[in-house]
Chain A
Amino acid sequence: MFKMSEYAFVAAILATGLALILYLGYALSGLRAARMQTAGATVRTGVMGFSSGPRTAGLGRYATILGWLGFAFLTAWVIFRTLATGHGPFANMYEFSVAFAWGILGAYYWFEHSYHQRILALFALPVALAMMLYATTISSVVEPLVPALQNNLLLTVHVAVAIVAYGSFTIAFAAALLFIIQPEGGRWGLPKPEILDDISYKAVVVGFPFLTAVIVLGAVWAETAWGRYWSWDPKETASLVTWLIYGAYLHARVVRNWRGRKAAYLLMLGFAATLFTYFGNLFFGGLHSYSGLG
C-alpha cells in the first residue's frame, strides 16, 4: 500500500505540473485573443455574462482533464496512505502537505465546474504543486503516532475539515489575486472583477464554516488531550487570527464601498494567515510541534 501511495503521489505531481503548463498555454492564447478583441474583433459572451472566453478551448479542456487526473491520483494517494497508516493521512507535515494539495485541487475543480473560469488555475495550481514539491523534500516514511495524536477519529476529522477550509481559501486567494492584478473594470481577457469577487466570496462562504469546525474540533480535542479547550498555543492562536480575518472579510463585503479591492486585499491577508497557520509549527513550537521535522 505504501508503495502504491508513493506511485500515486509521483503521478499526481506529473499530472498537475503538465496541467499547469497547459493552463498557462490556454491563458496566453487568451491574451492574444484579448488583444485581437481590443483591435476590433467580436467575442462571444456566455450565459449570465460569464465570459466563455475567446481562448483556445482545446488546450483548456486538456488542462482540465490532466488536472482532474492529478486530483484522482491524489485521491488514490489518500486512500493508499490511509490503508497503510490506519488513520487519515494527516499526521505530519508530509501527509498534511500532500493532503493540502489534494484539498486545493478539489476546491479548484469544484469552482471550475460551477464558474468555468480556468484562469483561476494559474494561481491555484501553483500553490497545490508547491505543496506537493515541498512534500517531496520531507520524509514520507510511515511513523507510528506519538501519544498526543493517538485519537484516530479526531485526527482524521480535525485535519480533513482543515483541508477543505484551506483548499477553499486558496481559491478565494487565487480569485482575489486575479482581481487585484487587473486594472479597474477588468482587462487582458481575464474574468470580470464581479465574477472574481463572487468566486472569492463563495469560496470563503464554504471555507469559513469549515475553519470554524476545525477550531471547534481542535478545542474538543485539546480538552481531551491537553486538559483545556483553549491554551493560546501558537497554532491555535494563528488559526483564530485567520478566522478573524475571514470573519472581517465577510463583514467588510457588506460595507458598500469596502467591497471589491479592499475585500480582495483582506483575502490576501487571510491567505497569508492561512499559510502562517499551516507552516507555523515549523518555527513557533508549542503544543502542535509534531511535524515530523523536529
Chain B
Amino acid sequence: MTYEADTGRLPGDASPPPAEALERDGGIGVDGFLEGLWDLLTSMKFGVIVILALAALGLVGTMVIQAPPGIASDAAAKADWLDEIRPKYGGWTGILDQLQVFTIFESVWFRALAALLTASLIACSAHRLPGLWKSATRPHVAIGEAFFSHAPQHEFMAVRGSGEEIQTRVTGVLRKHHYRVVSEDDGTVHLYADKFRWGPFGTVIGHLSLVVILAGALVGSAFGFRDTGFVVAEGSTVPVTSGEGISVELVQFQDAYYTTTGAPADYASDLIIYRDGAEVARQTIRVNEPLRYGGLSFYQSFYGPAAAIRVTDAKGAAVFADGVPLAWTENESGRRVGSFVIPGADLTVWIIGTAGTSDPKIAPGQMRVEVYKGSDGTAVAGETIDQRTSVALAGYTFAFDREMQYTGLSVARDPGTPLVWLGSVLIIVGFVLVLMFPHRRIWGRLVVRADGRGMLSLAAAGRRDVNSNTEFTDLVTEIRTAFTTPADA
C-alpha cells in the first residue's frame, strides 16, 4: 500500500524500528534476558495484546456482578454476599470467587496487566525519547539524492542564480511560514526545514500521563482515607476515623421532591465540621456540592430515618441521648435498623423501624427497642413503643423522643487525586500537541552549476494526508513564485 506512513525509513526519523527487527546478540544469561524483556516491552504487538487483555477484564467486570468494596476483608460478610449471588451463578460461584472474578479490579490478573502496561508505557517512552530528541535538536540535514524521488511528496524545480541567492529566497519563504531552516554545504547545498518539532513529544507525554494517573491511583489507595458509609443523625456529632480529630455534626437534613413527578429534587445536609472540638467549617452540602476541609471531602451520598433515643439508668441518670441512624435494612422484613451500645454496660441496643403501612408488628411512627448482651448476643428484652413514649427494659428506661433523619456521607481524603488530574491534563496536552502541531519536515537539495543554472529538489516526509499535502504544495508554489519575481522576470 503506497499511502503507508514510511516513517520508519525516513532519515533522521525518530520512530523505533519494530522490535522484531532489533538486533539480537543471541547471548544467553542476564543480558540476553534483559534484552529480550526490553524487546517485549517495547513491542507494539505486545502493547496491543496487553491493552486488549485489560479491555477483556473490564468487560468481565461490567458483565459479572462485583462485590461491594471492603467486603473482601470481612470473611463473614463475604460469605453472606456469596450466598446472596449463588442462585444466579450456581456451581460457578466458588470457582469465580477463587479466580477473583467478583473483585476483578483488585485481582491478581488486573494488577499484573496494569503493571505490564505501566512497564511497557515507560519502556516505549524511554525507547522513543532519544530519537525524538535527536530529530528535534540535531536533525539529519544532508540526505541522499534518491530520497527526493521516493519521498511521499516531492518536487523538482529549475532555478537560476548564485547558490547563496537561491538559498536566501527558499529560506525566506520557509521562515515566513515559521519553519526553522538548517543548511549544510558540501558542494551540494542541503536544506532542512521543520515546524512544530516539539509536537511528537506529545506522544510521549500522552503515554506517560497514563503512568501518572496510575501512580495517582496507587497513592490514593496506599495513603488515602475513605469512609463511604459515614452516617450522622440530625443533631448528632460523629467523629471521622481518619485520625485527624475531625468530627461532623448534622444540623439538618432535607430532601425535596418535584411536585409534578415525585422524583427527587434535592438532598441537602447542613454540616458543621469540628477539629478537636472547635468549629472549623460549615456548609450545606448537596449531591453536586461537597464540603472540602483540609484534605478531607464530605459528599452527600444517601440518607434515611433516624430515631432520637434517650436512655436513663435506674437512678434516673442519662447514660445515652442521641440520634440513632437506622442505616441498615433487615433482609427478610425490609425494616430499617440501627444500633448503639450503652456505655459502661455489656448491652447492645437495636432500634428497629417500620417496614411501612403494611408492617404487622411495627406501625409507622413506632420503634421497636431490642436489647442484647454485647458479649454473646443473647436477647435480653424487647418492646415496641410509640413516639414520645418510653419503656423500661433490662434495668434501663428507653425513651423514643421523635423520628428524624440521618444523612449518609462519603468522607474521603485522596492524596492521589492531584496526580490523577495532572495526568488527565497531560493526556489532553499530549493529544493537542500530536494532533494540532504535527511535526512538518521538508528536505531540500540544491545543485548549482557554474553557469548559474541550478536544480532544487524538495521533499516532505509524512503521510499522504490532505492537510500536509496542501501545505507542501502551497509552499512549493510560493517558492516557485519567489523565483519568477523580480530578479528573473
Name A's B-contacting residues (CB within 8 A). 48, 114, 143-144, 146-148, 150-151, 194, 198, 205, 209, 212-213, 216, 219-220, 223-230, 232, 234, 237-238, 240-241, 244-245, 247-248, 251-252, 254-256, 258-260, 273, 276, 280, 284
Q: A147-B288, A219-B420 are in contact. Are A241 and B62 (CB under 8 A)?
A: yes
Closest 7 CB pairs between A and B?
A227-B410, A227-B299, A244-B55, A147-B287, A241-B58, A209-B431, A248-B51
Closest-CB distance, B278 to chain A (whole angstroms):
25
Closest-CB distance, B421 to chain A (whole angstroms):
8
Q: Which of A146, A148, A260 has the most CB of B within 10 A?
A: A146
Whether A147 lies near B266 (C-beta < 8 A) is: yes
Q: A147-B266, A227-B299 are in contact. Are A241 and B47 (CB under 8 A)?
A: no
B407-440, CB < 8 A from A: 410, 412, 414, 417, 420-421, 424, 427-428, 431, 435
The A interface, classified by DSSP as helix, strand, loop or mixed, is helix
Q: Which residues of B contact A216 (CB under 8 A)?
A: 424, 427-428
Closest-CB distance, B297 to chain A (whole angstroms):
7
Closest-CB distance, B356 to chain A (whole angstroms):
21
Q: Which residues of B contact A205 (CB under 8 A)?
A: 435
Q: Which residues of B contact A244 (CB under 8 A)?
A: 51-52, 54-55, 58
Q: Which of A194, A240, A241 has the most CB of B within 10 A?
A: A241
Q: A147-B287, A223-B417, A228-B226 are in contact. Are A241 and B51 (CB under 8 A)?
A: no
Closest-CB distance, B15 to chain A (whole angstroms):
8
Query: Residues 286-310 of chain B: 1 if any A CB is under 8 Å from the residue's CB, otherwise 0?
Result: 1111100000010111000000000
Docked pose: A212 CA to B266 CA in angstroms: 30
Docked pose: A216 CA to B4 CA in angstroms: 32
Q: Which residues of B contact A255 (CB under 8 A)?
A: 18, 44-45, 48
Whether B44 lies near A227 (C-beta < 8 A) is: no
Whether A151 lies near B54 (C-beta < 8 A) is: no
Docked pose: A114 CA to B470 CA in angstroms: 13
Docked pose: A80 CA to B3 CA in angstroms: 44
Q: A147-B264, A147-B265, A248-B51 are in contact. Are A229 and B62 (CB under 8 A)?
A: no
* Selected interface stretch from B255-263, B322-330, B357-365, B479-487: B255-263
Q: A241-B59, A244-B58 are in contact. Are A147 and B267 (CB under 8 A)?
A: yes
Q: Is B162 an interface residue (CB 8 A)?
A: no
Query: In the complex, which of the residues B52, B258, B428 contacts A248, with contact meaning CB atoms closer than 8 Å?
Result: B52
Whether B428 lies near A240 (C-beta < 8 A) is: no
Query: In the complex, which of the residues A144, A198, A252 contacts B260, with contact meaning CB atoms closer than 8 Å?
Result: A144
Q: A237-B62, A241-B58 are in contact. Are A251 and B287 (CB under 8 A)?
A: no
Docked pose: A153 CA to B52 CA in angstroms: 33
Closest-CB distance, A284 to chain B (whole angstroms):
6
Whether B431 lies near A212 (C-beta < 8 A) is: yes
Whether A245 lies near B55 (C-beta < 8 A) is: yes
Docked pose: A245 CA to B59 CA in angstroms: 11
Q: Which residues of A contact B45 (CB under 8 A)?
A: 255, 258
Given contacts A220-B424, A225-B287, A248-B48, 6 further A-B contacts (CB under 8 A): A205-B435, A216-B428, A227-B410, A237-B58, A244-B51, A247-B51
Whether A258 lies near B288 (C-beta < 8 A) is: no
Query: In the complex, which of the residues B261, B289, B410, B435 contacts A144, with contact meaning CB atoms closer than 8 Å?
Result: B261
Whether A238 lies near B62 (C-beta < 8 A) is: yes
Name B's A-contacting residues (CB within 8 A). 1, 3-4, 18, 44-45, 47-48, 51-52, 54-55, 58-59, 61-63, 66, 105, 217, 226, 228, 258, 260-261, 263-267, 286-290, 297, 299-301, 410, 412, 414, 417, 420-421, 424, 427-428, 431, 435, 464, 466, 469
Q: Which residues of B contact A284 (CB under 8 A)?
A: 62-63
Whether A209 lies near B435 (C-beta < 8 A) is: yes
Q: Which residues of A contact B290 (CB under 8 A)?
A: 224, 227
Docked pose: A151 CA to B59 CA in angstroms: 29
- Considering the complex, give the chain A residue whose CB is closest to the CB of B3: A194
Closest-CB distance, A175 to chain B (whole angstroms):
15
Whether A251 lies near B62 (C-beta < 8 A) is: no
Whether A224 lies near B51 (C-beta < 8 A) is: no
Q: A229-B420, A254-B44 are in contact. Are A150 and B55 (CB under 8 A)?
A: no
Q: Which residues of A contact B260 (CB under 8 A)?
A: 144
Q: Which residues of A contact B48 (CB under 8 A)?
A: 248, 251-252, 255, 258
Closest-CB distance, A230 to chain B (whole angstroms):
7
Query: In the complex, which of the residues A143, A248, A259 contacts B263, with contact meaning CB atoms closer than 8 Å?
Result: A143
Closest-CB distance, B67 to chain A (whole angstroms):
11
Q: Which residues of B contact A238 (CB under 8 A)?
A: 58-59, 62
- Considering the complex, give the chain B residue whose CB is closest to the CB of A216: B424
Docked pose: A150 CA to B268 CA in angstroms: 13
Closest-CB distance, A33 to chain B (whole angstroms):
25
Docked pose: A252 CA to B431 CA in angstroms: 18
Docked pose: A237 CA to B63 CA in angstroms: 10
Closest-CB distance, A121 to chain B (whole angstroms):
20
Docked pose: A151 CA to B466 CA in angstroms: 40
- Considering the complex, give the chain B residue whose CB is closest to the CB of A147: B287
Whether B52 lies near A228 (C-beta < 8 A) is: no
Q: Which residues of B contact A213 (CB under 8 A)?
A: 428
A-B contact pairs, 24 of them (CB 8 A): A144-B265, A209-B435, A216-B424, A216-B427, A220-B421, A224-B288, A224-B289, A225-B288, A227-B228, A228-B410, A228-B412, A229-B414, A232-B105, A237-B61, A237-B62, A241-B62, A244-B55, A245-B51, A251-B47, A254-B44, A255-B48, A259-B1, A259-B4, A273-B59
Docked pose: A276 CA to B60 CA in angstroms: 13
Q: Which residues of B contact A209 (CB under 8 A)?
A: 428, 431, 435
Q: Which residues of A contact B61 (CB under 8 A)?
A: 232, 234, 237
Docked pose: A236 CA to B79 CA in angstroms: 27
Q: A237-B62, A244-B58, A255-B48 are in contact. Are A150 and B288 (CB under 8 A)?
A: yes
Closest-CB distance, B314 to chain A (whole angstroms):
44
Q: Which residues of B contact A226 (CB under 8 A)?
A: 299, 301, 410
Docked pose: A179 CA to B333 CA in angstroms: 58
- Considering the complex, give the chain B residue whose CB is closest to the CB of A230: B217
Q: Which residues of B contact A247 (CB under 8 A)?
A: 51
Closest-CB distance, A225 to chain B (whole angstroms):
5
Q: A150-B287, A248-B48 are in contact. Are A114 and B466 (CB under 8 A)?
A: yes
Q: Which of B51, B63, B289 has the most CB of A within 10 A?
A: B51
Closest-CB distance, A72 to chain B (whole angstroms):
26
Closest-CB distance, A171 to chain B (whole angstroms):
16
Docked pose: A251 CA to B52 CA in angstroms: 11
